Chain A
Amino acid sequence: MSVFSVPRLRAFVLAVLPVLAFLIVWEAYVRIAGTDPTVLPSPSRILLTTFDSLGVLLVNTRQTLIEAGVGMGIALVAGCALGALIAASPMLRRMLYPPLVVSQTIPMIALAPLLVIWFGFGILPKLLVVALVTFFPIVVSVADGLASTEPEMIRLLQSMGASRWQIFWKVRAPGSLPYLFSGVKISITYAVIGAIFAEYVGAFQGLGILMQNAKNSYRADLMFSAILVTAVLSVGMFLAVVGLEKLLIPWHARSTQREEG
């Protein structure tokens, strides 16, 4: 299907319409009521500020993107390893699963400042926060994915004389990829927000610290610009994962399409 086919265009228009309506009402309200721009700037003003501050926005976005990306990478490696351990044996599952669930109950708002106290204002506490908020969906999806292999499939491989290792790499691991991608799609939406939150607690650079500075200097317009960039960044990363999924596991997209069709 082409990117510009009629159904896609239709879907796009339908999605944009309510947002557009909202922005028009907002713009009209600010102009008619004459609101103070330090309290609520108009969409047009936010757009202008975004273009004017493109330089500072880009520098900070770059920092946040690196934190979100690398943090996500750490989560991916740690998540796959833990997921594989959990799927490896019922004993390991019983040992690892409960502490993992408990780890997710720790409020990040308490942990992030502690991480800054321990590791300073550098990139490390940001990476840790991003990794901590993103790795859980990955662990769960990998563990479920590895456990989803049909028992008959495993028996077939055993009858061929396959080792555990061969069964893992030829059947279980590739079969868990669709699950992994579901987990990553959930995680990636937390990654940027996690990075921004960590920066907010204390940082030299990044969208989080930019937001804090904007707030402190009553620059509501710049604040909204940063929000806009954050949204674009998150959606962009999500779409990158979707693209990667289509590239790496085309068989999955095709088989699900078949089931739906």
Chain B
Amino acid sequence: MARVALANQRVSAHATVTAAGVYKSYRLDGEPLPVLEDVSFEIGSGEFVSFVGPSGSGKSTLLNLLAGLEEPDRGRITISGSTDRLGHAAYMPQKDLLLPWRSALDNAVLGMEVHGVPREDARHRAREMFEIAGLAGFERSLPAALSGGMRQRVAFLRTVLTPGSVMLLDEPFGALDSLTRSELQEWLMRMWERLSTTVVLVTHDVEEALLLSDRVYVMTRRPGRIKLVHEVGLPRPRSLEVLDSEEFVRSKSALLRAVRGEV
């Protein structure tokens, strides 16, 4: 486990994410369309935090802002205390976006490659992760030969291995069937317990958010505002059995009520 932590060098006390008074709007036919309004939060190093909300609540915009792909109209966003965010967070979009000409292993090292990690070094680290992630034996497979669930795991490894202190996951399991989905949720939980990295997850699935997170933010409909902050008290390590626990069911119905109020 110590080796894994080493592989992700920047997992450290600096891996914090903050947003203070963030506003963002787009232009639609010349009319300003507010997407996010006065969004503020602080995420500590090593925390797993989710944002849930109906479509159009600006969840993906929020992640794009956190990743540094866009800048807020107003307010301030920092990663590890700095507003310079491009290249400092590992972003995982909904699509796996694996390059079809690269083997699974070479796809997983893409982020390291961009950051200039020497090739052999990068491959060595990726091989270790393939072992841990239950992908051993598939290093040389092309994406076309992998199942949807496995492609998503490779995409996740690419994210884990991308140098950066924070992982930003945009509905990473949204495109998968429900069986593969819950399998991967549990897998992600195991991986996170080993990696102890900071994760920001965006999802419309309340159950997924509760299962995985330390804290859940419920967003309002457009323009997105933080409506509710829910600290998840479930003990760790968790397993899928937690889904049946009383506390889980209670939290879930509270969150669902909050989200439904928005639909």
Q: Which residues of A contact B (CB under 8 A)?
A: 150, 152-153, 155-162, 166, 170-171, 174-175, 177, 249, 251-252, 254-255, 258
Contacts and interface: CB of A to CB of B under 8 A. Distances in A.
B97 A249 contact: no
Given A161-B114, A170-B110, A156 B91 contact: yes
Contacts of B93: 152, 155-156
A171 to B, nearest CB: 7
13 contacts: A152-B93, A155-B93, A156-B97, A157-B110, A157-B114, A158-B86, A159-B68, A160-B91, A160-B114, A170-B99, A170-B113, A171-B99, A255-B142
B146 to A, nearest CB: 11
Contacts of A161: 86-88, 114-115
A166 B99 CA distance: 14
Interface string B58-92: 00000010011100000000000000001111110
B203 interface: no
Given A160-B91, A251-B101, 9 more contacts: A155-B93, A156-B93, A156-B97, A157-B110, A158-B86, A159-B67, A170-B110, A177-B101, A254-B142
B97 A152 contact: yes
| Most chain B CB neighbours (cut-off 10 Å) among A156, A162, A170 | A156
Q: Main secondary structure on chain A at its contact with chain B?
A: helix
Which range holds the interface residue count of chain B? 20 to 34
* Smallest CB-CB A-B distances: 3 pairs: A161-B87, A159-B91, A255-B144
Interface in B108-122: 110-111, 113-115
Interface in B30-67: 64, 67
Interface string B127-149: 00000000000000010110000
Given A158-B86, A159-B67, A159-B91, A153 B97 contact: yes
Contacts of A174: 99, 101
B144 A258 contact: yes
B162 interface: yes
A166 B97 CA distance: 16
Contacts of A153: 97, 99
| Most chain A CB neighbours (cut-off 10 Å) among B68, B89, B111 | B111
| Most chain B CB neighbours (cut-off 10 Å) among A171, A175, A251, A255 | A251
A174 B99 CA distance: 9
Contact of B100 (A152, A155, A166, A251): A251
B238 interface: no
Contacts of B113: 170
Contacts of A177: 101
A58 B149 CA distance: 57
Given A161-B86, A251-B100, A251-B144, A170 B69 contact: no
Contacts of B69: 155, 158-159
A255 B142 CA distance: 9
A152 B175 CA distance: 15
Contacts of B115: 160-161
| Most chain B CB neighbours (cut-off 10 Å) among A158, A159, A162, A170 | A159
Contacts of B124: none
B89 A159 contact: yes
Nearest to A171: B99
A121 to B, nearest CB: 45
A63 to B, nearest CB: 37
B95 interface: yes
A28 B162 CA distance: 73
B142 A160 contact: no
Contacts of A156: 91, 93, 97
Given A159-B67, A159-B68, A251-B144, A152 B110 contact: no
A92 to B, nearest CB: 25
B100 A255 contact: yes
B152 to A, nearest CB: 14
A216 to B, nearest CB: 52
Given A166-B114, A170-B110, A251-B142, A159 B86 contact: yes
